[in-house]
Amino acid sequence: METTTYGSFSFKEIWTCDYATVTYCEELRMAICTSTSEYIPISDFKNIFLSISTFMEKYPIRYFLFDKRSLRTFHQPSMEWYFAIWKPEMKMKGLCDHFKILPKLNWFEKAVEAGKHEIFQKYGKDILDGIRVTYVQSPEGAIDSAMQIK
């Protein structure tokens, strides 16, 4: 298991697959899911996040960062499942603070905004009530934001 350091915080690898790596910092109670490929098939995407759900018992997660910088494909059904199913389930487990790092691609940001609009049309804007989503530029930015929330 590898360890990555951001600032003065160490994150140990707790899970990996062909498409992502998940690291965890016990001190912050923060998990980081880093995509490691340009595309994640929806079945693998769901498996990654369902695995994170099971980690909640062993690794209490208060803050969650999804680092999507390696992605080059936007997949609306994956985003819808993530927003409408996974995030509300995580809220029930106490995970309400989410951070995102998007790829530096203008079209990807526009696709995310259009996708959120579509999800809000289908499920209502209250789907994210009680869930804070913050877009950051780096893991250090997520840590800084989390430290301000405490």
d(CA 95, CA 116): 20
Task: Give tens-digit pLDDT for 46-104.
Answer: 999 999 999 988 999 999 999 999 999 989 999 999 999 999 999 999 999 999 999 99
Assign residue 66 the CATH number of its domain.
3.30.750.24
* pTM as predicted: 0.95
Quote the longest CA-to-CA distance of the chain: 42
pLDDT at 150: 66
Instruction: Note down the domain range covering 77.
Output: 3-149
Give the span between the Cα atoms of 97 and 148, in whole angstroms: 12
Confidence band of 125 (pLDDT split at 50, 70, 90) = confident
- Bridge partners (DSSP) of residue 67 are 34, 101
- Residues 16 and 33 sit within 8 Å (Cβ to Cβ): no
Mean per-residue pLDDT, 34-49: 97
Nearest one of 91, 95, 38 to 63, comparing CA atoms:
95
Name the domain count of the chain.
Answer: 1
pLDDT at 43: 97
Within 10 angstroms of residue 148's Cβ, the number of other Cβ atoms is 8
